[in-house]
Amino acid sequence: MNIDQLVDFLKQDSRFMDNVTYWKTIEAKEANFVPFPNWLEEDVIKALSQKGIEKLYLHQAFALDFVKQGKNVVIVTPTASGKTICYNLPVLNEIYNNPDTRSLYLFPTKALSQDQVSELHELITLMGKDIKTYTYDGDTPVNARKAIRQAGHIVVTNPDMLHSGIMPHHTKWIKLFENLKYVVIDEMHIYTGVFGSHMANVIRRLKRICRFYGANPTFICCSATIANPQELAQRIIEETVELVDKNGAPSGKKHLVFYNPPLVNKELGIRRSSLLETRKIASQLITNGIQSIIFARSRLMVEVLVTYLKKLVEDKLGNSKEIRGYRGGYLPTERRQIERGLRTGHIMGVISTNALELGIDIGSLEAAIICGYPGSIASTWQQAGRAGRRSSTSMAILVASSNPLDQYIIKHPEYFLESSPESGLINPNNLYILLSHIKCAAFELPFEDGERFGVETLEEILTYLEEQKVLRRVGNRWYWMADNFPANNISLRSASDENFIIIDISKPEPRVIGETDSFSAPMLLHEEAIYIHEGNQYQVEKLDFEEKKAYVRRVDVDYYTDANLAVDLKVLDVFEEQQEANGLTKAYGEVMVTAMVTMFKKIKFNTHENLGWGRVHLPEIEIHTTACWFCIPETITDKFSQDDLQNGLMAIAHVLGHICPIYLMCDTRDINVVYHSRSPFTRKPTIYIYDSHPGGVGFSNKIYEIYREIFERCREIIENCTCTGGCPSCIGPSVGEEGNNKDIALKILGGILSDIQPEG
């Protein structure tokens, strides 16, 4: 069956349609064309013509016009709408007329950089001009780097390399910085949270170096759909930005399907596993020859699905290369090989984390299955948009898990379709992040009295660094005097700068098979854990915390492992506190969070039954971060027994953990919720919500401001759930007396929201 036939078949399949809560057909859309502007060079137009491009889409014409006027611009249109034309044409046209011109392209990943360079090279070859375009990243050979610094018209890199490999050595890049005309920031919606806060400081440093060399570049930003693209772009580059969001590109017919796995226990609200339902749907697509991408929420889920689907296509020799996984932790050569296989059609199905959500060219996929709501409307549209990139019919199926957020979205499709996408939040002046970049900036160029770097209190920070023997003041300048290289100690992607490498010791010659960040390592790589890589199982024999290495050995078992994390929280400082009319106290401040992996479960493949557990003995991980908390007054809680109160708070915390990310456009792992039935700090029942990243990124501060809206949504989810006493789709697995916890949670929320008086 082709995709159209399969769509018709599924519509007639009652077993499938019984679980479909919504099916929307988005009709094909015609292109809106505009002629090339008269200032575009003839050779550029001829090159485009040879690629089959005779006109511009409407949004491309608008973007080119703004850039020609020297204005910063952010282009916000769907996947595969030709955003690359918006920056490639003005850049190539300018270099054509002025060979001294330089441009800097920033992509969030190496894969995107390489993808764009191949497209640029094709266009430049067709133009017949000598415009030197180079990728400069960690994989660039040392002997090629000098030539790039001297001769590169277009330098394509990522923020990490700009931060640690280019700006600290700006004296070797004088040709680039003196003549920098354009800076391209692609996939701007990725720069939210920690990464976005770092990125804004990287751009501050870039502009500071440009001013030193007399350059004032124009910024061309591209983004997927988010609620505040103009605001986010302006916060990142700290300049006025023009918005281009009228999409002129054509699109094929797309079927968007919301699928809720069937109930297996109606009273307890337990549904069939979203993982197993995804496997069933994906099997149907792949066996019909429909090239598909399957998105999963975690690395573990990716590997479990890879294990299942590889068995589907195995030949007699056990080969199953038509199915591949794709996630962080794979080696670069593996990822490039998978991308090529998708473009050529040799790979029929790829199971990925959100790593393939970005605009890498992966060919003409026909279907996307999203296993579990990705956490934001913007991310869901991005993942759904990876299928049907060439104006043909495509299908995207969202398979809900049992968690409250998934169940709310799957039962309220109007919320998903009618709400604007979430806002991208950053906090460039987060002290933890800002201080790191002030050190880097001081290493690059001395600070002068009166200079600004994002905050009014810069001199206080410089004075503090002088006291720490990091800076030295001479006259009106502050010079770097420490003997270390500050950029090496800062990771833009997380608060941790050290990865664990994973070493396979199955054979006499050990080999590195992957890596993971230091916060994930205790969960994934504790001793006795089953680490899955491309469907192959490895047992962890030793986790060396000092050397940041995990030693694994190939095994063949019928289970995988999942670890439990125990969290403790202490308040260090209160920044702001306010008491509401009903006695509820809300506060915001600094906390210390202690996390430790204490045990793990063994979960059987296919049935997902629990086969047993084991203890984990690893050191604690401590982070200082920001949190908001809500102290619930005795007038609300006094009428509950201690057990009932604990169960009610546990239920509310469960829902909050899934609902807050809707409002923050963050991953569910970026914030955490902890409850105390009697907090050692407030001495009252208290719910804490904290940022998972050291120093905080501003998430908890945002929750502090809009808490009523969030608590109202929690109540709505619990009220609207069809279960009797609480279930995984609302308050989580039931504890305590059956039929009681849901009611208790609603009464506590009613008290918090002041419009229901709790009853005994």
Chosen domain end from 191, 212, 244? 244
Residue in this structure with the two tokens 């490498």, named with its chain if needed: 501
Query: 263 and 226 in one domain?
Result: no
**Partners of 395 in beta bridges:** 255, 367
Query: 136 and 226 in one domain?
Result: yes
Contact 40, 93 (CB under 8 A): yes
Query: 73 and 23 in one domain?
Result: no
**Partners of 629 in beta bridges:** 587, 688
444 in a domain, yes or no?
yes
Q: Which of 37, 98, 103, 96 is nearest to 64 (CA)?
A: 37
Would you state the pLDDT for residue 335?
A: 80
pLDDT along the chain (760 residues), means of 10: 92 95 92 94 94 94 96 90 92 95 90 78 90 85 84 92 94 95 93 87 97 97 87 96 93 94 77 92 93 90 91 73 84 81 88 79 84 85 81 91 84 81 77 88 95 87 92 94 84 64 91 80 88 87 89 91 86 93 91 89 82 86 89 86 89 88 70 91 94 79 90 89 75 58 89 61
Beta-carbon count within 10 A of 556 CB: 6
Would you state the pLDDT for residue 727?
A: 76
Would you state the pLDDT for residue 618?
A: 82
615 in a domain, yes or no?
no
Would you state the pLDDT for residue 756?
A: 44
Query: 644 and 730 in one domain?
Result: yes
198 in a domain, yes or no?
yes
Would you state the pLDDT for residue 629?
A: 96
Query: 457 and 342 in one domain?
Result: no
Query: 123 and 51 in one domain?
Result: yes
We report the CATH number of the domain holding residue 126 as 3.40.50.300
Name the region of 243 (left: φ>0; alpha: ψ -120 to 50; beta: rest).
Answer: beta
Query: 699 and 581 in one domain?
Result: yes
Beta-carbon count within 10 A of 752 CB: 26
Phi, psi (rounded to 5 degrees) for 430? -55, 125
Q: What ranges make up the beta strands (E) of 453-558?
A: 471-474, 477-480, 499-504, 511-517, 530-533, 536-544, 549-555
Q: State how far the Cα of 591 lies from the Cα of 623, in Å rounded to an integer.
A: 8
223 in a domain, yes or no?
yes
Query: 171 and 302 in one domain?
Result: no
Q: State how far the Cα of 259 lies from the Cα of 401, in Å rounded to an integer.
A: 10
User: pTM of the entire structure?
Assistant: 0.77
15 in a domain, yes or no?
yes
Residue 492 CA, distance from chain mean position: 13
203 in a domain, yes or no?
yes
Query: 188 and 99 in one domain?
Result: yes
Q: Which of 85, 73, 101 is nearest to 37 (CA)?
A: 85
For 543, the domain range is 499-557
Contact 294, 446 (CB under 8 A): no
Query: 181 and 74 in one domain?
Result: yes
3-state SS, one letter per residue, for 319-378: CCCCEEEECCCCCHHHHHHHHHHHHHCCCCEEEECHHHCCCCCCCCCCEEEEECCCCCHH
Q: State how far the Cα of 271 lies from the Cα of 290, in Å rounded to an integer.
A: 27
Would you state the pLDDT for residue 622?
A: 83
71 in a domain, yes or no?
yes
Q: State how far the Cα of 445 lies from the Cα of 247, in Å rounded to an integer.
A: 42
Beta-carbon count within 10 A of 732 CB: 21
Chosen domain end from 418, 441, 463? 418
Contact 250, 30 (CB under 8 A): yes
Residue in this structure with the two tokens 């700009």, named with its chain if needed: 162
Structural domain count of the chain? 5
Would you state the pLDDT for residue 665?
A: 61
Chosen domain end from 366, 395, 418? 418
Query: 481 and 467 in one domain?
Result: yes
C-alpha dihedral sign at 461, 466, 471, 474 = positive
448 in a domain, yes or no?
yes
- Alpha helices (H) in 519-641, listed in sequence order: 521-524, 634-637
Query: 273 and 228 in one domain?
Result: no
Would you state the pLDDT for residue 735?
A: 46
